[in-house]
Chains A and B, each alone.
Chain A
């Protein structure tokens, strides 16, 4: 949490420090980012996000905290950030995923991190899975298990099957088992 606050402070200072022309550019950038947030049917590609430029992640991260009144915009921002594999972005997403805040945003941060780092994220997923053990955290567990199934990594799938034996939520169990079945129908193998 502290790390995230410091990061945000850094972002805000960076934005305040820019010269007037740059601020104007930032305004234009915000408008271009807003376009990706406000489309009725968001089908934007990595290129659409990346062509916003290298300054975009800073602005996007600031907007995540600024646009709290519209959750769909926050989710799209967190999703769009996955196309910017920068240290600051990863730290920002990790801060949200590891935090104790909004479950919906945490789930999206987890998904974006898995997109960016693939199997390298498995240790974090394992840790989060064990931490999110309360009844209220079942949504997060369901998402983590889904990411593990989608990753298809052998160790990840083993983790899923191990976790399912102790999963307390019937919903999580049934959802994950359905995902596993779909995956095995597609690939024709089962986890060991």
Chain B
């Protein structure tokens, strides 16, 4: 059912919508008819202009100002925020822009880190001392510089003194242009624990330390809470990136002496150990669910350094508990925690010498009486270093990321479009603007139980690089305008997509407006409707326009998809309409054999002052003369590009090595490349995602091409598109 009655209201303010609701009710409309008059508000926020320093690939990141975003609490399940960035000058070199977004109160999953560096402050110098030195700070952002006398690996540690704020530590080169190391991958979004950053100190070179308060709490709780402490220390035990990995061998491994011991409910066991070999390992089997308390106490005198205790599930690498949240960075006091150990699993316990060397006492007590009927069996340590399982840390994992379930280290996400929080736009289409849809998946973006974006403050970091072979003026900066389009919508199960369909040039117009041409266009639209109905999206109003000016005639032949001027000229021929997707049908493209392209993933919204975007298709054969197969190809390609336009990536790329970030789209990896040609083909990926609308390639035979009913979309793909501002 098409519900055209409300289409013209979509961009209207709430008051108008409310008024219309009242009118419709008065006219006796059924509730079903008016359900799309749900709370739907679209507003554009002007976030101001920011200076973006460009850089080269050799020096890929310059810090751009933080752009503060707020996700309102009434965003709704289909609500979203689309970020838009546009340089205020025309770019003469090809750029790659990146925007990364993070939740300010929790940096857990994002590699992004917004750095408020409008003014670089250097409040003081930290002394370079092996014994370590501390500096207290109290501002949201502070910067310190440190000249190093020696070349060695160093670890900087940042400890928040209060639990309500989160701070991040970044180590940069002296001009502050390149982030050398950072603590952005800390897991719990809090600086309760120490955040460690390992970096390479070079004799005679200066490093800049940036302390960034990223928590959103400061406004509520007051400035005085924003305290941090920076501790510089040389860590004798953790001098390499893999120092804390568990696949240590040789001298680093230390087998634990002692016989196996059984621990009954209510009982405890103590183990004396020493950390002289950096890490000690124990393993425990758990017959039943058991609430177990662990305690670790340093016993050497004098008390030096810090020991930490970890409990990890051996089968999933899940960190069940740890004592790393101790605030003193010392194990002088007992570090303890209680965890519920699941039944029938093996857990590993390891004592890690973070700094210093010490004897210790490890206490384990089974405190639950409800579940445990059998004793908890404590086994001895491993006798053979080769026996130590590679359970937790793969080679690329570091201690900082240990607690994440998949132990995935996030880099700064600069060049990966699949980074869940970031978006990269190659500006070759020349529109010189970037948009980022948030959320762009429902897997890793911070969503609450109702799958609505967690309300609160977020930060966005914009950066850019020149692409290869560009002549770069390293001092050149770009000023960019940044806007946010906020869509509040509470119906995730249904949405309408309105389209303005432009036929460009006389040949296309003649073909598309002939009797059979009109039928063919109707058939294409019906096919698209069928495909998208799977995820609750219907085509709403589709308006058809004929562009028959001389300019349109000229543009429509061998259209230059990569030419900004051509695209701009197209838009000069149309009337822009907010919330309506533009589709152009031209006669041919200059790029051979291309049938369609979405200008952006997702397509830019139509916002005043910004270049708008579209999906453009080439008819090639007059539409009223196309064969059934050719028409179905066009149908598939238009549906596919609409998917891109609404924010979808290919679930599997051609090489079988890149995938979209969604978890319910099948992946077809390189193992399926039966003929070894470097491509995973449609037939090689049958039942492994080939049937998905967004698979990278069409079927290779007419039967499958013509089977439009076999095209699928996943639930999560539906989510991505439902939150898109074009779907309302």
Contacts and interface: CB of A to CB of B under 8 A. Distances in A.
A40 B639 CA distance: 11
A38 B697 contact: yes
Nearest to A52: B677
Nearest to A78: B592
Contact of A28 (B588, B595, B675, B696): B675
Contact of B682 (A38, A71, A171): A38
Interface stretch (B343-351, B382-390, B629-637): B629-637
Interface string A1-42: 000000000000000000000000000100110110111111
Contacts of B637: 40
A170 B677 CA distance: 47
A35 B681 contact: yes
A73 interface: yes
A69 B630 contact: yes
B174 interface: no
A143 interface: yes
A178 interface: yes
Given A76-B593, A142-B557, A171-B550, A34 B654 contact: no
Contacts of A78: 592
B231 interface: no
Contact of A38 (B621, B641, B700): B700
A69 B557 contact: no
Given A70-B629, A70-B633, A142 B697 contact: no
Interface stretch (A86-94, A103-111, A117-125): A103-111
Interface size class of A (residues with CB under 8 A): 35 or more
Given A38-B698, A38-B700, A39-B697, A143 B594 contact: no
A72 B558 contact: no
A37 B629 contact: no
A44 B6 CA distance: 45
A94 B114 CA distance: 58
Contacts of B550: 170-171
Contacts of B592: 42, 75-76, 78-79, 108, 111
B173 to A, nearest CB: 35
A38 B553 CA distance: 28
Nearest to A74: B593
B699 A174 contact: no
Most buried by B among A39, A78, A182: A39
Given A38-B698, A174-B554, A32 B620 contact: no
A35 B593 contact: no
Given A38-B682, A39-B696, A178 B593 contact: no
B597 interface: yes
B700 A34 contact: yes
Nearest to B569: A178
A111 B565 CA distance: 22
Contacts of A73: 593
A42 B594 contact: yes
B682 A70 contact: no
Contacts of B698: 38-40
Most buried by A among B554, B590, B592: B592
A35 B697 contact: yes
A79 B629 CA distance: 21
B28 to A, nearest CB: 47
Nearest to B684: A35
Contacts of B554: 171, 174-175
A84 B565 CA distance: 33
Contacts of B621: 71
Most buried by B among A32, A72, A170, A178: A72
B679 interface: yes
A108 B593 CA distance: 10
A104 B597 contact: no
B627 interface: yes
Contacts of A183: none
B640 interface: yes
Nearest to A33: B700
Nearest to A38: B698
A104 B630 CA distance: 16
B83 to A, nearest CB: 25
Interface string B587-603: 01011111111000000
B557 A139 contact: yes
A178 B565 contact: yes
Contacts of A111: 592
Interface of A: 28, 31-32, 34-35, 37-42, 51, 69-73, 75-76, 78-79, 104, 107-108, 111, 139, 142-143, 146, 170-171, 174-175, 178, 182
Interface of B: 550, 553-554, 557-558, 565, 588, 590-597, 618, 620-621, 627, 629-630, 633, 637, 640-641, 654, 675, 677, 679, 681-683, 696-701
7 contacts: A34-B700, A35-B697, A38-B697, A39-B696, A40-B696, A70-B627, A171-B554
Given A32-B677, A42-B592, A70-B630, 20 more contacts: A34-B700, A37-B593, A38-B698, A39-B696, A39-B698, A40-B637, A40-B641, A40-B696, A40-B697, A72-B630, A75-B592, A76-B592, A79-B592, A104-B588, A139-B557, A146-B558, A170-B550, A171-B550, A174-B554, A182-B565
